Amino acid sequence: MGNNNSLVRCVSLARPELSNNTADAQRLKRALEMELGTGEVFLPLSILATLPEKLRQWNHRIKCVVFKQGAGWSVAAVKDPENNGGLTGIAADIGTTRVVLRLVDLE
């Protein structure tokens, strides 16, 4: 993910150890804060619920779809980092007389 304007970031996390038993969510937040250059990353409950299982399944690497929210960033989804399929989103422009939708390559 060499593109700094990308809304998709792939990060690798240190494995939990007895000497460093930081929670998975904290390790992910810290890695994303460094990657995005911010001090605030929000992880919704829907992602936190399955995060430990997915991190172990994906060998502690994770692809995160992020978006700017106020002064920080929010994680919208997490994906398998080995899945090379494209990640797309929809941009919507709601005007007074028409609605325009456009597919956007998030990567």
| pTM of full prediction above 0.85 | no
Contacts 24+ apart (CB under 8 A), 45-53: 47/75, 47/77, 47/78, 51/24, 51/25, 51/78, 52/24
Here the tokens at position 31 are 């890695």
57 pLDDT band, cuts 50/70/90, is very high
Q: How far apart (Å, rounded) are the C-alpha atoms in residues 47 and 22?
A: 17
pLDDT at 4: 62
